[in-house]
Amino acid sequence: MDLSCTMIIFGGTGDLAHRKLMPAIYNLLHEKLLPENFAVVAVGRKEKTSEGYREEIYHSIREFSRFKVDEGTWNHLKDRIYYRTLDFLQEEAYISLEAFLRDKADQYHTKGNRVYYMAVAPEYFEGIVDKLHRHCMGGDVAGWQRVVIEKPFGRDLSSAKYLNDKIVQVFQEENTYRIDHYLGKEMLQNIMVLRFANMIFEPLWNNRFIDHIQITSSETVGVENRGDYYERSGAMRDMVQSHMLQLLSLIAMEPPNDLDTESIRNEKVKVLKALKKIEGKDVVENTVRGQYGSYEADNGKTPGYREEVRVDHRSVTETFVALRIFIENFRWAGVPFYIRTGKRMPEKSTEILIQFKTMENILYFKDKQLQPNILVIRIQPMEGVFFQFNAKEPGTRQRIIPVEMDFCQNCRVGINSPEAYERLLYDVMRGDATLFARWDEVEYAWKFIDSILEGWKDHIPVFPNYEAGTWGPKEADELLEKDQRNWINR
């Protein structure tokens, strides 16, 4: 397969390019997955030379690459990196950009193939795509042209539709890569294997045997320097609309007929279509919002959200969300999916916990409940699978205790899992969109989220309502307690 191409990164001076994209490109080269005919053109508003940019990127790669930087490999890559100063919305700037790209295509034999990566703030997506259109830089003019759009894809259904309409005027659906970096994580790709390649799981994967599912993605960091963006987004748009619903659809989907891109996406979108709408009075019943307050410890004070940089000191933006979701289909009717995500929580972790129904206690300790079986898929930072089952405690007394089987993937020597962006950039170059969101996935995710956001307008909680470093507001616990369940923080 010929992967020859030029990668044009709009937003080349931003955090994403420095921390993720450039280290991923370096790692792909290190793994010998980058094509020989390749160049990167980073585009940004700041004035700088290609030499100066390369120097900065070198430091970022040293800091963020999962491999130690090898000077030979770096020199090979360095010569292929260019920087262009450009005002994204200025019409004429694209004329010289096009000339520059043509020149580099000739120099590196990239056959006119291009990947346009939108690593810019979302308000520029449309303007850039529009300029590419006007200057005939999109569409398959010569070779192929693909566009990678970072999330958030819109801020509600109507803005997402508007953006999508603009994009499809220029790039066909198969050339549009809506990135959700969670899909590039190793263990997410493992969910389908775990479910569909193991006899012991799939037959039990339904409402007859599963009591409920918990999906948690917690972070210890606050909003860092992203106050501007986060104020307009909040945890719901930032995490739930994309990452959390993607996790949910992989866990809940039916087996696809095939492993091809569309078969998998078809099954995922069916889950999103089957989500029971949360609206009206159900919003209060099924959703919880939180915002972190400050925390004082001996070693200093952790600021609350309202004290963060570029955040309104009366902000009502949520930094935590918990939801109780039902999927209206035969497999899942009646099984609650509890999802929660938040910033400034006690640990950085993403896990999916499947709690099976409790065994009828006919034989043992009729007065005491047996512990349920629990299967945990650990996405990060630990990658692996954990299973809890009941066994006899050794000894003469007849006692049953829960014991664990624990498979830790990244504890194994020699496993240095690729970063999500490596896999995803590689897939864009080889034209495989399986791990990217199709338009209808984005559309149905927004439909589900929009009605909750609408319902939230009527009730503004008193914020802040959880202390930094805790598992969110008490209402998040109550959400499960009213179902006689509780979050399992292991």
Query: What's the CA angle centered on 17, arms 61 and 167, to 5 degrees?
Result: 150
Considering only residues 85 through 144, tell me which ones interact with ligand BG6, judged by CB under 6 A.
none
CA atoms within 13 A on the CB side of 209: 11
Considering only residues 228 through 257, tell me which ones interact with ligand BG6, judged by CB under 6 A.
238
Return the bridge partners of 341, or none.
217, 321
Residue 147 and residue 175 in contact, taking contact as beta carbons nearer than 8 Å: yes
> Of the listed 18, 181, 212, 243, which one is catalytic?
243
Minimum CB distance to ligand BG6, residue 99 (Å): 35
Residue 176 and residue 137 in contact, taking contact as beta carbons nearer than 8 Å: no
- Residue 122 or 455: the one with the smaller Cβ distance to ligand BG6 is 122
- Residue 219 or 441: the one with the smaller Cβ distance to ligand BG6 is 219
Considering only residues 35 through 94, tell me which ones interact with ligand BG6, judged by CB under 6 A.
none
Minimum CB distance to ligand BG6, residue 46 (Å): 22
147 alpha carbon, distance to own chain's centre:
18
> Distance of CA 22 to CAs 29, 186, 234, Å?
11, 19, 27
Binding string to ligand BG6 for residues 192 to 231, with x set by CB under 6 A, is what?
---------------------------x------------
**Residue 220: what are its φ and ψ, rounded to 5°?**
-90, -25
CA distance 475 to 468: 16
- Residue 35 or 122: the one with the smaller Cβ distance to ligand BG6 is 122
Minimum CB distance to ligand BG6, residue 176 (Å): 19
CA distance 369 to 359: 9
- Residue 350 or 355: the one with the smaller Cβ distance to ligand BG6 is 350
Minimum CB distance to ligand BG6, residue 160 (Å): 16
181 among known catalytic residues: no
Six-digit token string for 488? 């399992």
Asked if residue 422 binds ligand BG6 (CB under 6 A), the reply is: no
- Residue 350 or 465: the one with the smaller Cβ distance to ligand BG6 is 350
Q: Name the DSSP letter for residue 345.
A: -
Minimum CB distance to ligand BG6, residue 36 (Å): 30
Considering only residues 327 through 386, tell me which ones interact with ligand BG6, judged by CB under 6 A.
350
Q: Name the DSSP letter for residue 182.
A: G
Residue nearest to ligand BG6 (CB): 238
Residue 107 and residue 39 in contact, taking contact as beta carbons nearer than 8 Å: yes
- Residue identified by tokens 């989500």 is 275
Minimum CB distance to ligand BG6, residue 462 (Å): 24
Strand pairing report for 81-85 and 287-290: unpaired
CA distance 229 to 170: 27
Residue 313 and residue 307 in contact, taking contact as beta carbons nearer than 8 Å: yes
Indicate the helix (H) or strand (E) that contains 215.
strand 210-218
Report helix, strand or coil for 357: coil
Size, binding site for ligand BG6 by CB under 6 A = 3
Minimum CB distance to ligand BG6, residue 16 (Å): 10
- Residue 25 or 188: the one with the smaller Cβ distance to ligand BG6 is 188
Query: What's the CA angle centered on 439, arms 433 and 445, to 5 degrees?
Result: 115
Query: What's the CA angle centered on 244, arms 240 and 245, to 5 degrees?
Result: 90
- Residue 219 or 267: the one with the smaller Cβ distance to ligand BG6 is 219
Minimum CB distance to ligand BG6, residue 148 (Å): 14
- Residue 244 or 335: the one with the smaller Cβ distance to ligand BG6 is 244
CA distance 367 to 63: 57
CA distance 30 to 68: 10
Residues that are catalytic: 243
Q: Which residues of the shown chain bind ligand BG6 in the complex (CB under 6 A)?
A: 219, 238, 350
